[in-house]
Homo-oligomer: A and B are copies of this chain.
Amino acid sequence: MSELANPHRTRTVTWQDPLLTAKRGMTMSGLEFLQAMVRGELPPPPIMALLGFTILDLADVEPGRVVFTAEPAEYHYNPIGMVHGGLACTLCDSAMGCAIHSTLPAGVGYTTLEVKVNFLRPLTQATGVIRCEGKVIQVGRTVGAAEARITDARGKLYAHATTTCLILAPTNTASE
Measured CB to CB, the closest approach of chain B to A72, in angstroms, equals 11
A77 B47 Cβ-Cβ under 8 A: yes
Copies in the complex: 4
A47 B76 Cβ-Cβ under 8 A: yes
With CB as the reference atom, state the residue of chain B lying closest to A7.
B16
Residue-wise interface mask of A (133-170) relative to B, using a CB-CB cutoff of 8 A (1 in contact, 0 not)? 00001101011010100000000010010101010000
A162 B118 Cβ-Cβ under 8 A: yes
Which B residues touch A87, using CB under 8 A? 47
Known interface pairs A1-B42, A93-B89, A138-B120; A15-B113 also in contact (CB < 8 Å)? no
- In-complex Cβ contact of A76 among B43, B46, B113, B147 (8 A): B46
Residue-wise interface mask of A (63-82) relative to B, using a CB-CB cutoff of 8 A (1 in contact, 0 not)? 00000000000111111110
Q: Which interface class (under 10, 10 to 19, 20 to 34, 35 or more) fits A?
A: 35 or more
Known interface pairs A17-B6, A46-B76, A84-B90; A166-B142 also in contact (CB < 8 Å)? yes
Which B residues touch A107, using CB under 8 A? none
A1 B18 Cβ-Cβ under 8 A: no
With CB as the reference atom, state the residue of chain B lying closest to A20.
B6
B16 A6 Cβ-Cβ under 8 A: yes
Known interface pairs A42-B1, A43-B6, A84-B90; A116-B119 also in contact (CB < 8 Å)? no
A interface list, Cβ under 8 A from B? 1, 5-25, 33, 37, 41-47, 49-51, 74-81, 84-87, 89-90, 93-94, 97, 101, 109-120, 122, 137-138, 140, 142-143, 145, 147, 157, 160, 162, 164, 166
Nearest 9 A/B pairs, CB to CB: A86-B90, A22-B81, A89-B89, A18-B77, A116-B116, A47-B84, A45-B79, A12-B12, A6-B16
